[in-house]
Structure 1
């Protein structure tokens, strides 16, 4: 296919947060995820990080009308990178895709790191549970760095703009994984 696609590995895996279709389950070799703080933003971003020894699951989705500007606006703070190799799409659908990643030059280390929004994490994990099942959601945690950063429990009043309501089972899964990884919830 010659139409543009992007590879989503975080909130874009949750189809409830966007209307980008068609979308296909995919796997990207040579990348992992990390929670990173950046200049000009209080809470950390989930970003892709090149890592030759890692593989992450996600979705590839069509960029409607080839309008990268609208998608770039949603993904403000990220740069787009062409994916020259390492992308496998379910059903062997051939796509040319790009992936968003926070520019290294904008990343900062905070002495007292601002917390990850639980409403953001919930959206991501809900997407993985629905697309890849529990095994895929377990893999999300295993292929993501930065779990030493605390998590802010904002479920009662979500701060994340694309927050979703989780089922009781989805909520229990997220909470259990945070305990398993020793994440401090504030």
Structure 2
């Protein structure tokens, strides 16, 4: 039996948001990130959707104590999909890798009632900057769909529970990329 890992592609890329061990850079083929909303959460969030032409950077991490139940609770708005053959990673031993995604038909596009939180974007991009550098963080923006979603500027009073403080340079990087995408940011 091989060791269970999960592929993180959003806030889990930011190591400050968790205490998972045995983490490695990885790449997932055949999936793309997208902003979505589900009735299980009041705000929009990242998910992955199948796209044979796409590949995204992220991290794989060992499932703590090989206990999927605890991790499934954290990721309760998602379904778990086995993606072993689609993930490139540096592990020598065989590993079972799964990714969490909102199931088809159970999500919709973000709306003003369910915006994307800027504090969430900040956390994700900070993780990509630290793990993959500026080029990797730019790829995050390029390989994520749904930037037409309304974004709520909650930086002064973050609503995202695992929010982090960003440096001036990190904040500027996020703001520059959002401006280039011509996103709609509201207070």
Deviation (angstroms), 1:36? 0.7
Q: 1:7 to 1:111 in 2, by over 3 A?
A: closer
Q: Which shows bigger deviation, 54-63 or 94-103?
A: 94-103
Q: Which shows bigger deviation, 38-47 or 140-149?
A: 38-47
Tell me the alpha carbon deviations over residues 31-86 of structure 1, each in whole angstroms, 9 at most, x when there is no partner.
11000111243311200111000010000000111111211111120000001412
Coordinate RMSD, CA, aligned: 1.6
User: What does 1:1-186 correspond to in 2, within 5 Å?
Assistant: 2-90=2-90, 94-109=94-109, 112=112, 114-186=114-186
Runs of 4+, deviation exceeding 6 Å? none
Give me the whole-angstrom Cα distance separating, in 2, the residues matched to 1:111 and 1:160. Answer: 17
Give me the whole-angstrom Cα distance separating, in 1, the residues matched to 2:111 and 2:162. Answer: 28
Q: Which shows bigger deviation, 125-134 or 101-110?
A: 101-110
Tell me the alpha carbon deviations over residues 106-161 of structure 1, each in whole angstroms, 9 at most, x when there is no partner.
11346656320011111100000000000000000000000001211111111001
* 8 Å CA contact retained: 2:2, 2:95: yes
TM-score of the pair, normalised by structure 2: 0.94
Paired positions, count: 186
* Partner SS state of residue 42, structure 2: coil
